[in-house]
Structure formats: structure tokens, C-alpha cells
Amino acid sequence: MRWKRTIQLLDVHAEGEIGKVAIGGVPKIPGETVAAQLHWLNTDPKGQALRRFLCLEPRGAPIGSVNLLLPPKHPDADAAFIILQPDQAHASSGSNSICVTTALLESGIVEMNEPETIVTLETAAGLVKATATCRDGRCEKVKLTMVPSFVHELDVEIDTPHWGKIKADICYGGIFYALVDVGQINLTIEKANAAVLVQAGMILKELINRHMPVVHPEIPAISGVAYVMFRDLEADGTVRTCTTMWPGRADRSPCGTGNSANLATLYARGKAKVGDVFKSKSIIGSEFEVGLHAVTEVAGKPAVIPTITGRGFTFGLSQVALDPFDPHPLGFALTDVWGPSAGEI
């Protein structure tokens, strides 16, 4: 076989959310920093072609992400990575950080030490400390010390054609989120409502980004609301979440960066303090433990440093390749599986 390109993928999921890790064949990504590499992937035609090759059909699927392992730029980092999804490359993710940590340790790329191994991950949003509990050659769970998270604006009112005025908290947890109490759209967070939740999320994301541009004050490569996360508070204090993602799907995990953003809102409203720990549950019932590790500032804004704890599981090893005669090197998406917005690709 005379393939033009081959990339090896270790298949991993974190509490149900797929985060494949490209452990071999990753081409050199230009950029002096990981943020610059993120910008190149999102703006250069060659970077966009790489993302499409891995994330769109026939090699990809609407669910999950592909994490590009990269040589670290920071002297303290063990590895760097950037998250590829069908819409764009993203700066940070809790579930994908768990997947990458699990992949690094269980593949032997980073030496596993029992009972605990600390792995420092470099993302476009900054360094993430991953503390892995290890036993019998397996990564049992990962506790992430995330990048500082902060509130951009609370209780932003959005005029919608479907639900009237909706209030959202616009917050940063490694990427920007719009956090919406799910009762405002007369829904609950459960499996049966996944399709209508993601339809609502896509509508709200478009409205918010059209009327309220946001840019990280210190990292210009991170801009725009990436996801709408619906939230609900259960009787026992558990935060139930549904993060909605392009082209119209629900995050299967409780969402690490989303819960980091939500933690910033709890702190801003006086509902969380340093040392607090609570549980977050996803639409499929999987769980993360969320903690408030410390407080800090970002460009003069109050910020929190969250911790996210969850589990990663390897489930396969694969290799994707490009036949030089393949008529679909950039991939494709159809509305039958990918939803109405697939027509934009």
C-alpha cells in the first residue's frame, strides 16, 4: 500500500466522551507556542486539511475528538496537545486531558510510577497538572489542576425567537462557555432530550457569538463562545450538565472545562470557596469530581483554579491513512448524520 499519510491513534474515552490520541505520524505543526500552533490549525489551509482528514468522514465521525500529541514548548511540560473537533481546533478540555494522560501512561510514552504519576500537559490555554492514580500498569483515575477560570459576564440577557429572553453566564474555563440553566428552555437533562438540547445549544451559540464577541485578555488565539452548556442543580447538590457541541451533539462526559467555567460563577456568586468539592453528572450519568483548589487573577479579573477528577479507558488502537487517489482527502459531512449545519462544511 502506498499511502500518502498515516497517523496512529490510541482510542480512549473519559467517562464516555471519546478522545482519541494521535501518538504517531503527527506532522510538524508550525508555531513558536502552542497557542500559535492552535491559530495555525484554525487559519492555515494545511492545518484545516489535517483536522478535516481526521475528524470528518470517511475517517472520522460526529462524536469525539482527536488529540494531536506535540513536542512541548514549556520546559516543565511532559507533552503538549491540541484538540481537533469537526468545527475547529480547541485550546483545552478536561475529558481530553484525562484521555491524553491515560494514553501517555498506558502506552509507555511517559513512564508510569505507582501508586501516583504526575504528568504536566501543555495546552494553548496553559499548563495542566495531571495527577494519575496508577496500579498494576493501569491509570485508574486522573486529577487535573486546570488553568485559571473566570467570569466574563454574568446574567447576560439574550433575546431568542423560541424561548423569549434567556439569561446566560459567559465564562472561561480553558475555552469560553455560555452557561444556561436548562429550566429556561423548559427541558431537563436526560438522554431522551439529547437531540432537542443540542438543537437549542446550536441556536443559542450562534446568537451569542453574533451579538457578543469574546476574546481571552491574554491569549488572543482563544476567542468566541465554543460551547453552550446547560446545567441543573439536583437535590443533593450535584450539578447535572449537558455541553452542546457542533454539529449538534452532547458531550458524553460531565465536561471538565465547562465545570471549570461554572465553578467560576459559583465563586463569583459566593456559593463556593477554596477547599469545596462537589459532584458533576453528565447526560449519561457519568461523573466528575470538581474542586476549588485556589483563587487567583487573570488580567485583573478574579479567577479560580479548579480541579477535575475522572477516569479514562483505552479501548482500541488504530491507524488512519490517506490513499493518494482518494477523492475525499478533506473529508465530508452529510445532514443525515451530522445535522442541519453540516451543509455549511
pLDDT at 247 over 90: no
User: What is the percentage of the chain residues whose pLDDT exceeds 70?
Assistant: 99
pLDDT band at residue 218 using 50, 70 and 90 as cut-offs:
very high
For the segment 284-323, what is each residue's pLDDT rounded down to a tens digit? Answer: 999 999 999 999 999 999 999 999 999 999 999 999 999 9
pLDDT band at residue 340 using 50, 70 and 90 as cut-offs:
confident
Mean pLDDT of 208-220: 95
Domain containing residue 173: CATH number: 3.10.310.10
Q: CA 304 to CA 300: how far, in whole Å?
A: 13
pLDDT band at residue 117 using 50, 70 and 90 as cut-offs:
very high
- 155 in the same domain as 102: no
- 287 in the same domain as 328: no
**What is the predicted pLDDT for the residue at 345?**
73
For the segment 151-180, what is each residue's pLDDT rounded down to a tens digit? Answer: 999 999 999 998 999 999 999 999 999 999
pTM of the model: 0.96
Task: State yes or no: is 255 an active-site residue.
Answer: yes
Mean pLDDT of 49-67: 95
- 260 in the same domain as 212: yes
Q: Residue 32 sits in which domain range?
A: 5-145+313-344
Task: State yes or no: is 171 an active-site residue.
Answer: no
Query: Which residues are registered as beta bridge partners of 128?
Result: 121
Catalytic residue among 255, 260, 280, 286: 255
- 62 in the same domain as 97: yes
- 320 in the same domain as 262: no
Total domains in the fold of the chain: 2
- 205 in the same domain as 176: yes
**What is the predicted pLDDT for the residue at 342?**
79
Catalytic residue among 65, 92, 93, 97: 93
